[in-house]
């Protein structure tokens, strides 16, 4: 028997806050690391994707009622597969980073956006807003990483500091970190925002009389 949403120990707020936490950790790890190489980027991404996938997988049973489980289930599969691919040490190359992150961003973004748009018909625009925004952000990340930046390299120097090279993978890892930061902030705000009480279904007159 499925537990009614009003009696569940966990709800969408907990999913949002858990996702915000893991996104914030990914953003912090990228931001405060001077090494924006493919191994570092895939290491952070794989941890983020695996943790996010686990959150979605648990939410299928603990949060979402029957009939609303397809979207989180698909997101769990996409994130877990991407995270497992990114966790293979020998595959942590620049090409794999771009391929895995682009595929994950486009697939998860499309699934979350379509699921949110479908959800609008049942719970209204407010309930679907989070999925729409995160879905669009993920799609934008995937599209931006598809631009020809993989082979980009710019040599520059800073007086008193030395010479440096800005590469495509450095930009890409930074973009992922920025994406994670935006997602973390938005989901944290959504998770801590006050909720409207769910409407209580009317009791049929026959049951009320009995």
Min mean pLDDT across 97-101, 133-137, 151-155 is at 151-155
Question: What residue segments make up the domains of the chain, in order of their start?
Answer: 10-194
Q: Say whether domain 10-194 belongs to CATH 3.90.1200.
A: no
pTM: 0.85
Whether 32 has a pLDDT exceeding 60, the answer reads yes
Write phi, then psi, for 123 (nearest 5 degrees): -110, -5
Whether 210 has a pLDDT exceeding 80, the answer reads no
User: What gap in Å lies between CA 191 and CA 126, rounded to an integer?
Assistant: 13
Residue 156's pLDDT band, with cuts at 50, 70 and 90, is: confident
Given 3-state DSSP classes, what are the helix, strand and coil percentages for the chain, each rounded to the nearest 5? Answer: 70, 5, 25
The predicted structure's pLDDT at residue 124: 54
Whether 204 has a pLDDT exceeding 60, the answer reads no
CB half-sphere exposure, 40, CA atoms < 13 A: 20
Q: What's the mean pLDDT in 181-208?
A: 71
């Amino acid at each position: 028997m499925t537990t009614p949403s009003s009696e569940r120990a966990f709800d969408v707020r907990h999913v949002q806050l858990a996702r915000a936490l893991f996104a914030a950790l990914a953003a912090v790890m990228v931001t405060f690391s001077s090494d924006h190489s493919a191994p570092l980027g895939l290491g952070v991404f794989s941890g983020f994707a695996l943790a996010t996938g686990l959150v979605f997988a648990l939410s299928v049973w603990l949060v979402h009622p029957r009939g609303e489980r397809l979207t989180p289930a698909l997101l769990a599969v996409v994130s877990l597969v991407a995270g497992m691919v990114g966790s293979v040490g020998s595959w942590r190359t620049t090409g794999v980073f771009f391929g895995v992150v682009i595929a994950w961003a486009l697939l998860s973004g499309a699934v979350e956006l379509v699921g949110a748009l479908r959800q609008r018909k049942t719970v209204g625009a407010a309930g679907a807003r989070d999925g729409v925004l995160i879905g669009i952000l993920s799609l934008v990340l995937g599209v931006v990483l598809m631009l020809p930046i993989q082979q980009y390299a710019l040599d520059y120097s800073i007086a008193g500091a030395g010479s440096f090279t800005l590469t495509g993978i450095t930009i890409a890892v930074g973009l992922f970190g920025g994406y994670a930061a935006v997602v973390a902030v938005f989901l944290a705000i959504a998770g801590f925002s006050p909720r409207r009480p769910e409407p209580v279904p009317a009791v049929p007159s026959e049951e009320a009389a009995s």
